Chains A and B, each alone.
Chain A
Amino acid sequence: MTHSLTPTDQAEPAVATDAQPGRPGPPARRAPSTGAWGGRLAELARGFGWAMLGTAAVVLLWQLASSHSTDVPAPLDGARTLIDLLSDPFYNNGPNDQGVGLHLGTSLQRVFTGFALASVVGVLAGMLIGASRRAWLAFNPVIQVLRPVSPLAWFPIWLAVFKDAPQASVFVIFITALWPTLINTAAGAAQIPQDHRNVARVFRFGRLAYMRHVLIPNALPSIITGLRLSMGIAWMVIVAVEMLSGNSGIGFFVWDSYNAGDLSSVVAAIVLIGLVGLILDAILVRLSRKVAIEEVQS
């Protein structure tokens, strides 16, 4: 089951800078909006209406499916459990009985730690590999071999290293978040416009000035694309790794609920995981928009 979590949407270096992963825009509107406030509101309302309709359709299908099975919880059961879980998300009756909010918090903490580590290592190593042809030739084969491996395969290694399951899960997230950041950073750093290189050469930019004024500004959009991919995959993988590591986290909550025969809690957790993932992505989208706007202005 876990192998299905192999990150498949890592962008290849060649296309990475243009990649806008995971968020397809809607097909073009047939008529442009009128631009007036009323027009915009109507647009929003229309969007909301369609979203409700689509959700209702999915829920209806789910209802039909669940009505043929005694095991699959119906939408209403899921919703009831969700409300129930959210009514007291932070209760703590010892390590084996905690609120879903605490589990989510634990998972977020692990994801952030692993992600932060991976960002530092990935960006630095990516810049080195992108900027130096020799480093690229030396490390690219290793990266290409390791990249398609499910980060969960690293779990036993980290467990042996740290003798601590939670810490091992943080480092699984580190591996998860490392490759997209590293590869995209390298791609960005490798695509410095010839003009900028020429300027740096003619005016004898030192290493630091080159990094500050040429390398980092040019690589920044791809770095952020990489970070966003990394965060998305990290949030997926944390659930799986916590199913393995046990004890705490939203993945553990899901697995624990299954073991207790409480599938409506699993359903509720899926909705929660999705919403948190959406928020995480939205934060990084905002960041990339900010960079993109600066890009246009400059």
Chain B
Amino acid sequence: MTVEIRALHKTFKRRGGPAQHVLRGVDLTVEEGEFVSFIGHSGCGKSTLLNMVGGLDRPDEGEIVVDGKPVTGPGPERAMVFQNYSLLPRLSLLANVREAVRAARPDWSRAKADEMVERYLTAVGLWEHRDKRPGQVSGGMAQRAAVARAFAVGPRTLLLDEPFGALDALTRSRLQQQLVELWGNESETEKVLMVTHGLEEAILLADRIVVMSNPPQPSVQTIIPVPIPRPRDRATISNHPEYAGIQEELAGLLLVDQTAVA
């Protein structure tokens, strides 16, 4: 089961302004069990790409096929974690996850749904805080609830849009750890697509890193494999012989592209 992105084009038309190419001809296949990171400068269309896989946005040309089915709209089999948590502010953390599970999986019994809610809230360490509202907890806790919500609906594909961008370094590294554990061990989730700004984050988490190029040709520039075996440890990963090379290549690509644009 794969995510296949074929000849994807997307243009934003602004009234009175020139058409702005957001993506021009993206081809990519994400294999089963693969963790892919998307990296690139702002405006390179990586979030748009993720939204289109999620079904929140439609491509102008090309198609996306997930697990053999063309994407026509959003759905819980492609659960998303957004950058700004996107929890419903009037519901407790528990209710946020529970309502999403009940809505997304009407095929599950109440007992099964409740079990999944408890399992993932516990897995992200929020079960004790389940009755708090999103506004009463830190950004890290809110994002953990959003991660729990995404996993709890049992998605085959998980889509993460800069999920840890707004968090402090310590919280971020803890969440990265939890994310990998959930994906690797406990869940039915096979494929993860994550948009990120962080080079280290991309290397630590991904099997492959998709580097996106800037306008006027926003597309896949290069795909860099990360052949570092798992489990990876953020403290020791930089000692791996491949690490420095990957980091240098990434930094080089992004830096060159930036000067080209400026």
Chains A and B form a bound pair: yes
In whole angstroms, what is the CA distance A104 to B80 when docked?
Answer: 57
- Determine if B88 and A214 form an interchain contact, defined as CB atoms under 8 angstroms apart: yes
Docked complex Cα distance between A297 and B91 (Å)? 11
A167-207, CB < 8 A from B: 195-196, 198-199, 201-206
How many whole Å from A66's CB to the nearest CB in chain B?
54
Contact, CB under 8 Å: B104 / A217:
no
Bound CA–CA A213/B134 (angstroms): 14
Report the bound CA distance from A295 to B136 in whole Å: 11
A5 on the interface (CB 8 Å rule)?
no
How many angstroms from the CA of A246 to the CA of B71 in the assembled complex?
Answer: 66
Minimum Cβ distance to chain B for residue A89 (Å): 43
Please state if A199 and B135 are interface contacts (CB–CB under 8 Å): no
**A196 touching B88, Cβ below 8 Å:** yes
Among B79, B88, B90, B91, point to the contact of A202 (Cβ < 8 A).
B79
| CA A297 to CA B90, docked complex, whole Å | 9
Bound form: Cα–Cα A247–B54 in Å:
65
Docked-complex contact B134 and A198, CB < 8 angstroms = no
A206 to B54, CA, bound (A): 18
Bound CA–CA A296/B89 (angstroms): 10
Q: B37-80: which residues lie under 8 A (CB-CB) from chain A?
A: 54-56, 73-76, 78-80
B82 touches A204 (CB 8 A): no
The answer on a CB contact under 8 Å between B90 and A201 is: no
A203 partner residues in chain B, CB cutoff 8 A: 76, 79, 99-101, 103-104, 149, 153
B56 A199 Cβ-Cβ under 8 A: no
Shortest Cβ distance from A123 into chain B, in angstroms?
A: 17
Do A204 and B104 touch across chains, with their CB atoms under 8 A apart? yes
Q: Are B103 and A209 touching (Cβ within 8 A)? A: yes
By CB atoms of chain B within 10 A, which of A204, A217, A297 has the most?
A204
Residue B177 CB within 8 A of the other chain: no
CB distance from A286 to the nearest CB of B (A): 20
B86 sits at the interface (CB 8 A): yes
> In the bound complex, do residue B99 and residue A298 qualify as a contact, i.e. CB atoms below 8 Å apart?
no
CA distance A7 to B134 in the complex (A): 40
- Which chain A residues (68-107) contact chain B, with CB distance < 8 Å? none
Shortest Cβ gap from A247 to chain B (Å): 46
B232 contacts which chain A residues (CB < 8 A)? none
Q: Which of B73, B99, B149 contacts A201 (CB 8 A)?
A: B73
Establish whether residues A199 and B90, one from each chain, have CB atoms under 8 Å apart when the complex forms: no
A297 to B153: give the CA distance in the assembly, Å: 28
A80 to chain B, nearest CB (A): 53
B172 at the interface (CB under 8 A from A): no
Docked CA distance A199–B133 (Å)? 17
Task: State in angstroms the CA–CA spacing of A202 and B87 once bound together.
Answer: 13
Contact A297 B133 (CB under 8 A): yes
Q: Indicate if the CB atoms of B86 and A199 lie closer than 8 Å.
A: yes
List chain B residues, Cβ under 8 A from A201: 55-56, 73-74
The size bracket of the interface on B is 20 to 34
Contacts of B89 in A (CB 8 A): 217, 295, 298
Separation of A202 and B57 alpha carbons in the complex (Å): 12
Kindly list chain B residues whose C-beta atoms are within 8 Å of the C-beta of A296. 135
Within 8 A of B (CB), among A21-73: none
A216 to chain B, nearest CB (A): 9
Question: In whole angstroms, what is the CA distance A201 to B56 when docked?
Answer: 8
Residues of chain A within 8 A of B133, CB atoms compared: 297-298
Query: Contact partner of B75 among A196, A204, A209, A297, CB < 8 A?
Result: A204
Indicate if the CB atoms of A294 and B90 lie closer than 8 Å: yes
Contact B103 A206 (CB under 8 A): yes
The residues of A that contact B103 with a CB separation of less than 8 Å are 203-206, 209
A297 surroundings in chain B (CB, below 8 A): 133, 135-136
> How many whole Å from A249's CB to the nearest CB in chain B?
40
Q: Judge whether B247 is part of the interface by a CB distance below 8 angstroms.
A: no
Kindly list chain A residues whose C-beta atoms are within 8 Å of the C-beta of B55.
201-202
B82: chain A residues at CB < 8 Å are 195, 198-199
B84 at the interface (CB under 8 A from A): yes
Q: Please, how many angstroms separate the alpha-carbon atoms of A296 and B80 in the complex?
A: 26
For residue B78, which residues in chain A have a CB less than 8 angstroms away from its CB? 202
Within 8 A of A (CB), among B174-204: none
Across the interface, which residues of A come within 8 angstroms of B75, CB to CB? Answer: 202, 204
A199 to B56 Cα, complex, angstroms: 10
A197 to chain B, nearest CB (A): 9
Q: Tell me the bound Cα distance from A136 to B103 in angstroms.
A: 27
Q: In the complex, how many angstroms separate the beta carbon of B169 from the nearest chain A beta carbon? A: 25
The 3 closest A-B pairs by CB, nearest first: A195-B86, A203-B100, A298-B89
B contact residues vs A (CB 8 Å cutoff)? 54-56, 73-76, 78-80, 82, 84, 86-91, 99-104, 133-136, 149, 153
10 contacts between A and B (CB under 8 A): A199-B86, A199-B88, A201-B55, A202-B56, A202-B75, A204-B75, A206-B103, A217-B90, A298-B90, A298-B135
**Other A-B pairs, 18, CB within 8 Å; known A203-B76, A203-B99:** A195-B82, A195-B86, A198-B80, A198-B86, A199-B88, A201-B73, A202-B74, A202-B75, A202-B78, A202-B79, A202-B80, A204-B104, A206-B103, A213-B88, A217-B88, A297-B136, A298-B90, A298-B133
